[in-house]
Amino acid sequence: MRGHIKKRAKGSWSIVIDLGRDATGKRKQKWHTVKGTKKEAEAELNRILNEINSGEYVEPSRMLVRDYLQRWLKDYAEPTVSPKTYERYAQVIRDNIDPTLGNYHLSKLKPLHIQSFYTDSLTNGRKDGKGGLAAQTVLHFHRLLHKAFSQAVKWQLLARNPVDAVEPPRPERREMNAIDETDTAQLLEKLAGSALFTPVLMAVTTGLRRGEILALRWKDVDFDEGRITVNQSLEQTAKGIRFKSPKTERSRRQVPLPSVTLDVLKDHKRSQNEERLRLGPVYQNQDIVFPRPDGSPTPPDSFSTRFADFIRRSGLKHIRLHDLRHSHATQLLLQGVHPKIVSERLGHSNIGITLDTYSHVLPGMQEDAVLKIDASLRLAIQNNKPK
């Protein structure tokens, strides 16, 4: 198979693929238009020739949405996103998008088709046939499709992104589920003596994410300075468990610890050292602060399950493991700690995320601020009166 490129206009090229001659002797060719430099056009020519020779080539006008999304997963998503995110993308495409939109030709997919898909998902999207999916779930579909078809535009398979003309659902803001200091004390009292006690204490006094807690190593704990360094996270996928970089650059941070947490960590380290010596060579010493009994990394999903089972049996207020992070932030804000400090402890990429996530706390802070300024101004006025 051979091909060549022809310049059409400035920044525009025609790729011509020679397919030989038909039964009448007439030359057969395929034409593609490419925007960009000559070098980019040559690269596209080589890609198409390689796909034709390997049997993977599909004409853009005949490519199905299903086929395109598989190519997008393979050539874009898998190399650029985390394995966990890739798994979520693949599952959504397989279970939700393909059955409804998969058989459309990519070039003929219209905004109305996508809008109808959203509407149907909201009313009948559950696989058990018991109603529709949450608006937040359908919003995830919207974001995935927008990302995928934006790449189709860059790959010049589409002239424009059809998702741009689609209105996504607007999820209702879910009320934050947090516990106060009294509930926290009751939770810790119930956990005393269990393997969950120390990591839960870490969660409610630092606001670390689940994966950040389980990825902590003892080298990250500075007992002299009274702080920990967060520089990795633990992620669980279908292929297993892996350590990865933090969620964002701001997630790579140092977090000062309260003395109560430092004291418990010291006891935890002593107990862990004793257990390591008792097990001998069976113990997998990976320097992990919260490992499984044999020293290996704790699977994040099983950790969440253990916490959920404990909460169910305890009779305490129902909370998820992630709610401990929300509880830490809420308690700090209610105590008057500046949102910038809270944002840094949580590892948010910017303070706006913190303010938006914990906006329910702000009205009370506003009232408290008004009372303080009122009291201070009245005192200043009183002191300024002639004696």
Domain ranges of the chain: 2-57, 65-165, 181-323
Burial of residue 204, with CB atoms counted within 10 A of its CB: 0-12 exposed, 13-18 middle, 19 or more buried? buried
Look at residue 369 in the predicted model and tell me its pLDDT.
66
pTM: 0.71
Give the architecture-level CATH label for domain 65-165.
Orthogonal Bundle (1.10)
Give the span between the Cα atoms of 29 and 47, in whole angstroms: 16
Q: Can you tell me whether residue 99 is helix, strand or coil?
A: helix
233: CB partners within 8 A, 6+ apart: 209, 211, 212, 215, 243, 244, 245, 246, 247, 251
Same fold: 65-165 with 181-323: no
229 phi, psi to nearest 5 deg:
-115, 125
Mean pLDDT of the chain: 89
- Measured CA angle at 136 (ends 333, 199), to 5 deg: 45
Look at residue 58 in the predicted model and tell me its pLDDT.
60
Look at residue 377 in the predicted model and tell me its pLDDT.
79
Look at residue 295 in the predicted model and tell me its pLDDT.
94
Q: What DSSP element (H or E) covers 136?
A: helix 135-154
State the average pLDDT over residues 134-139. Answer: 94
Would you tell me how many other CB atoms lie within 10 Å of the CB of residue 91? 11
pLDDT over 70 at 217, yes or no: yes
pLDDT over 70 at 57, yes or no: no
pLDDT over 90 at 350, yes or no: no
Look at residue 147 in the predicted model and tell me its pLDDT.
97
Looking at per-residue pLDDT, the higher value among 124 and 55 belongs to: 124
State the average pLDDT over residues 158-167. Answer: 91
Q: Give the right CATH number for 181-323 from 1.20.1250.20, 1.10.260.40, 1.10.443.10, 1.20.58.110.
A: 1.10.443.10
What token pair was written down for 278?
């008792």
Which strands, in side-by-side order, build the sheet including 12-21?
Answer: 2-9, 12-21, 27-35
pLDDT over 70 at 78, yes or no: yes
